[in-house]
Amino acid sequence: MAVHGPAMTDVARLAGVSHQTVSRVLNGHPNVREQTRLRVRAAIAELGYRPNGAARALVTGRSQVIGVVAQNTTLYGPASLLAALEQTAAEEGFAVSVGSVRNLDHRSISAAVERHLSHRVAGIVVIAPVESAGEALERLPKDVPLVTVDGDPSRPVPLVTVDQVAGARAATQHLLDAGHRTVWHVSGPTDWFDSVGRIDGWRQALLAAGLDPPPPMPGDWSAASGYRCGQMLARMPEVTAVFTANDHLALGVLRALHEFGRRVPHEISVVGFDDVPEAAYFIPPLTTVRPDFDAVARASLQMLLSQIESGTGGALRQTIAPALVARESVAPPRR
């Protein structure tokens, strides 16, 4: 004889609510008081209740799966965002199906979205940090619940992003506050919105201080690229402070400065961006900017669930402030 597990009505009885309220909690509906939500979650945990995904799909007309489109990359920022999205979705009772694409262009994004829609996902999140993704997103069906992460702020699609400008401004100001007369910048690729925002923030901080920004040195996010830029910076005696667009660029710069005998932070101060797990173990430990990837994931999912529940879209915007993490790679310049 088959043994059946606890039913939704059992959860409702234990939590002292209706089965409709249990259903709303399971579906991430926003119109549930937090105290009630916690009571229902506690009852689910106590009973070991597992929602029937197939039954819920029949009731709601959709699966409990969020489709994510992301470039196939090991870069720390996009990879961390994807991991945070998976964790946050799981906490809300959703699974994540990832459509990895080699390039974020119209054909690749459209194909990945169509694959997700054929599996009746509840909604779609696109991690779209490069210019080539912009046109593709505008041409997607308008009735698809969709949120972009780190996408083009100039396009009319729902967007959640790290405040790259504010983060770069804080990094640059930290170096100016230490007494440096200017700050040089090793940038990321110019077709990445993250890179453009960080250039803008660096430039804004210098202009606000009455300084003419030196020309940025273009990189490609890699330590090797930072190393090449660092070799040039090491030969320039006027350089006392460098802000790099990510921590891997900073690692390459640190290596080049060390080889040329330019001590950090005694002769040159360095600040990165991303706060990769290894940053605290660089020599010296790296001052950097920490994006809150968990907050970006939560905001993205809530924006998506709001669209799913209401059936409407909208050009929503939400920026998440990063935090400066001060370590030992910054010091006042030698006079």
Predicted structure pTM score: 0.79
Max CA separation in the chain (angstroms): 85
Residue 60 has pLDDT above 60, yes or no: no
Instruction: Assess whether 270 and 181 both reside in one domain.
Output: yes
Q: What single-letter DSSP state applies at residue 130? A: B
Instruction: Assess whether 72 and 112 both reside in one domain.
Output: yes
pLDDT tens track for 198-242 = 999 999 999 999 999 999 999 999 999 999 999 999 999 999 999
Q: Say if 226 falls within a structural domain.
A: yes
On whether the CB atoms of residues 300 and 127 are closer than 8 A, the answer is: no
Instruction: Assess whether 172 and 285 both reside in one domain.
Output: yes
What pLDDT does residue 28 have? 66
Instruction: Assess whether 79 and 139 both reside in one domain.
Output: yes
- Helix, strand, or coil (residue 274): coil
Instruction: Assess whether 234 and 282 both reside in one domain.
Output: yes
Residue 59 has pLDDT above 50, yes or no: no
Residue 271: is it exposed, middle or buried by C-beta count within 10 angstroms (0-12/13-18/19+)?
Answer: buried
In this structure, what CATH number is given to the domain that contains residue 21? 1.10.260.40
Instruction: Assess whether 214 and 232 both reside in one domain.
Output: yes
pLDDT tens track for 2-39 = 445 677 788 888 999 887 788 778 766 667 888 888 89
Instruction: Assess whether 210 and 148 both reside in one domain.
Output: no
Instruction: Assess whether 251 and 134 both reside in one domain.
Output: no
Total domain count, the chain: 3
Containing 102, the helix (H) or strand (E) segment is: none
For the record, the structure tokens of 165 come out as 């400008």
Q: Say if 279 falls within a structural domain.
A: yes
Give the structural domain span for 128. Answer: 65-161+293-319
Q: Say if 119 falls within a structural domain.
A: yes
Instruction: Assess whether 149 and 75 both reside in one domain.
Output: yes
Instruction: Assess whether 156 and 209 both reside in one domain.
Output: no
In this structure, what CATH number is given to the domain that contains residue 100? 3.40.50.2300
